[in-house]
Amino acid sequence: MRHVDFAPLYRSTVGFDRLFNMLDGVSQPEQSYPPYNIERTGENTYRITMAVAGFDEKELSIEAHAHVLTVKGEKAEEAAGESEYLYRGIAKRAFERRFQLADHVEVQAASLKNGLLHIDLLRNIPEAMKPRRISIAADASAPKAIEGQVSVN
């Protein structure tokens, strides 16, 4: 895939930085390590599961900042001469994986079990942004109240 330069658009737009960063991220080659799943576990809940065999809690870090969830893994250095490998098939390399989070998506919890890192997410929409039911008045001269709002006369 060809890389697209968004620099000219940055000069003539205001407030679209996040959109251009997301588009720029999509054009980057996809990493394959570590493998992961993203699943919807409920109406407003999600779970990211990453296969991080060989890492323990102290070697993993999770950070959510400005709509980006970053998961990093860094293996501790082994003591020299600890063991001699005849074949090494288990990955030991460090990684950093980023996930774009939608508005109002928050990290609820994280757990590590059987080599799988589970990150639970919740979409928490503020009351002011939820749909409101508006009643229709039969008499146009008498305005009706909107559900969820106090009527002041």
pLDDT of amino acid 3: 59
In this structure, are 63 and 86 located in the same domain? yes
What is the residue range of 80's domain?
A: 33-126
pLDDT of amino acid 80: 65
Cβ atoms of 78 and 124 closer than 8 Å: no
| 134: confidence class by pLDDT, cuts 50, 70, 90 | confident
pTM score above 0.75:
no
Cα separation of 62 and 54, whole Å? 17
| 114: confidence class by pLDDT, cuts 50, 70, 90 | very high
* Lowest mean pLDDT across 36-50, 56-70, 73-87, 88-102: 73-87
In this structure, are 66 and 114 located in the same domain? yes
- What is the per-residue pLDDT across 17-58, written as a single tens digit (0 to 9) for each? 666 666 665 555 556 788 999 999 998 899 999 999 888 899
> Residue 51 is part of a domain; what is its CATH number?
2.60.40.790
In this structure, are 5 and 67 located in the same domain? no
Which residues 6+ apart lie within 8 Å of 67 measured at CB? Answer: 18, 100, 101, 102, 103
Angle (nearest 5°) at CA 26 between 120 and 106: 20
The string of DSSP letters for 5-21 reads --HHHHHH-SS-HHHHH
Q: Which amino acid is at 87?
A: Y
